[in-house]
């Protein structure tokens, strides 16, 4: 099975935002969550899946990959410590695909869904303020 990846839009990439993991499967959402939850240490590269734990404690039972946005509610229910927001990039502007309805005390994991034709790819957004500010320029 070919991984459903696509290139990050140049206008977004210039914001030095994406933490694109170079995964060879369709589980980019899992790797984007790893980037947020388990930041690499000791000089490990953020783009390499080998920089992250394989036993992560996350429950992906019954989740399809590549993961449609519609299944993030299910993922949050199966993982009570996750609160996931999903944004997109359209015409050089940030758009909102999904905001978590979880209580405000849980830390938010902000993901960017990059789509091109039939392919899509999730990436972790380290600083949402930079992505938002870029739409104002």
The pLDDT score that the predictor gives to residue 135 is 43
How confident is the model over 82-103, as a mean pLDDT?
91
Q: Are 16 and 135 in contact (CB under 8 A)?
A: no
At 50-73, the pLDDT tens digits run 555 667 889 999 999 889 999 999
Query: What integer best gives the mean pLDDT of the chain?
Result: 76
| pTM score | 0.75
Query: Alpha-carbon torsion 5, 12, 93, 112, what sign?
Result: positive
């Amino acid at each position: 099975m070919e991984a459903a990846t696509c290139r990050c839009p140049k206008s977004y990439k210039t914001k030095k935002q994406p933490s694109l993991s170079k995964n060879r499967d369709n589980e980019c959402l899992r790797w984007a969550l790893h980037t947020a939850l388990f930041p690499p240490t000791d000089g490990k590269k953020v783009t390499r899946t080998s920089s992250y734990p394989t036993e992560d404690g996350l429950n992906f039972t019954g989740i399809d990959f590549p993961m449609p946005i519609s299944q993030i509610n299910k993922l949050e229910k199966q993982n009570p410590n996750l609160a996931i927001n999903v944004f997109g990039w359209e015409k050089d502007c940030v758009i909102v695909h999904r905001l978590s309805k979880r209580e405000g005390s849980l830390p938010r994991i902000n993901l960017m869904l990059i789509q091109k034709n039939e392919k899509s790819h999730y990436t972790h957004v380290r600083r949402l303020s930079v992505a938002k500010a870029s739409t104002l320029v």
